[in-house]
Chain A
Amino acid sequence: MHQVRLEGVRKRFGGLEVLRGVDLAVSRGEVVVIMGASGSGKTTLLRCINFLEEPDAGRVVVCGVDVPCGEKHRGRNRSARIRQIRQQAGMVFQSFNLFPHMTALENVVEGPLTVRRMPRRTATELGERLLQRVGLSDKRDEYPSRLSGGQKQRVAIARALAMEPQVVLFDEPTSALDPELHEEVLHVMRELATEGMTMVVVTHEVRFAQDVCDRVLFMDGGVIVEEGSPSEFFAHPHHPRAQAFLHLVDHAGRAPSMVELVR
């Protein structure tokens, strides 16, 4: 069974159709990387999976929770199912979005305490274990303002994992970091992939995609225009825009994040 399935997902912002009917299926344990130029719809697609953006049409199924989208599908019990999806699909943001009024540990245990209603003691044990896993045991009582970008992102990953999700969604997790801090975040993500976590990652990190992922999707103009294993995608991209995009990959193995390909 698929952990994440999107069928014909469409999303429009005003006059701009950002997603024009996207189908996607991610199996258990699979790591999928989504690439594409700015404006191709990749972040919107990711945000549709956990309903941070509400699709205008189509259907989203995450871990068996099925939510059809569109005007005629609004209703009371719908928001409960969306919350169920969000608990199953953790998210890591480009700008971390840590809670600034809480320490690292408090950030991590917030979900277990408030949403999962876990006893404080159990939640604290879980939180400490997760901080240790991302290498930040010594920062448990620091506020986010005292952490580096890489440390913040690692706390954010621990916060997502604290809900014990089936899937983790990564939205350009290294794009806001200085280059020398990328590796500490990618390292945690690699470990997570090795442990069999299902991951959907929007990123420009070509090397990460080559080493870790099972499948690369390339988006353009609101649709997936190419998909394949990383070895075939990076060696022989077929779509002209994928070719142009990969041509711009710099020597550090990262596609420049602000590339605006000429249409």
Chain B
Amino acid sequence: MWELFLRAYPFLLEGLLVTVVLGVSSFTIGSAIGLATALARLSSIAALRALAIAYLSVFRGTPMLVQLLLIYFGLPQFGITLEPIPSAIIALSLNVGSYQSENFRSGILGVDRGQREAAFSIGMTGWQALRRIIFPQALRIAAPTIGNRFIALMKDTSLASVVTVVELTRIAERIGSSTFRYMEMFVMVAAVYWLLNSALSLGQAALERRLARAY
């Protein structure tokens, strides 16, 4: 097992790097999508609200794996062929965006109405009020659920192995199939995921403690 680990670990590190890149980039893009969707849902324009609700309904109502397969295997039929990693990032971003949208929305709605009025009463525009007053408070309210979503996303990146992205899970499968030592390889990969997410959990707890202390 030790000798297998020594042989596998450069590949595991490479896989971990791909997993982290997938997770971090999808989380960043997905958060931007989520924020835009949350604002669309809170908008006074009915068409924007409808569009946002349609998007949420589709991406929260279908399995992440099916979304990924649609993008990677389905889109080429319409002449849109994407590499595995971009396909995975798009699917993960759209998926996490639908969850982040709800996190942001409930955070924004959780901010006291008087805050908005106070911001307006000093002459702020809607955008200034959102950026300076509402959003910083909404983020604190939503911080725990946002952190949980990030950890969930880190695990969801393993689905990218299905569309041939060589991330952690795919590495384990590959080495497993060439050595017939699937058990050891998947235990190793599970341990790497566990370590990664434990570190993220600790980071999340520290961040929440800091946010709570600020006021």
Contacts and interface: CB of A to CB of B under 8 A. Distances in A.
Interface of A: 50, 52, 79, 83-84, 86-87, 90-91, 93, 95, 97-101, 110-111, 114-115, 143-145, 159-160, 162-163
Interface residues of B, number: 20
Given A110-B132, A114-B128, A115-B128, A143 B215 contact: yes
B123 A100 contact: no
Interface string B119-143: 1111111001000110011001000
Interface string B93-120: 0000000000000000000101101111
B215 A101 contact: yes
18 contacts: A83-B123, A84-B123, A86-B121, A90-B122, A93-B114, A97-B115, A99-B118, A99-B119, A110-B122, A111-B123, A114-B128, A114-B132, A115-B123, A115-B124, A115-B128, A143-B214, A159-B122, A160-B122
Nearest to A146: B215
A100 B136 CA distance: 10
A56 B119 CA distance: 23
A19 B149 CA distance: 48
A114 B137 CA distance: 17
Given A97-B112, A97-B115, A114-B128, A50 B121 contact: yes
B125 A83 contact: yes
B176 to A, nearest CB: 50
A182 to B, nearest CB: 20
Contact of A87 (B117, B122, B215): B122
Given A83-B125, A143-B215, A52 B112 contact: no
Contacts of B136: 101
A159 B114 CA distance: 15
Contacts, number: 65
A159 B117 CA distance: 13
A97 B117 contact: yes
Nearest to A50: B121
A111 B214 contact: no
Interface string B191-215: 0000000000000000000000011
Given A97-B114, A115-B128, A159-B118, 8 more contacts: A90-B121, A91-B121, A93-B121, A97-B112, A97-B117, A99-B119, A100-B215, A145-B215
Nearest to A144: B215
Q: Which 7 pairs show the lowest CB-CB distances between chains A and B?
A: A111-B122, A97-B118, A87-B123, A97-B114, A91-B121, A143-B215, A86-B123
A142 to B, nearest CB: 10
Nearest to B214: A101
| Most chain A beta-carbon contacts within 10 A, residue among B114, B115, B122, B215 | B122
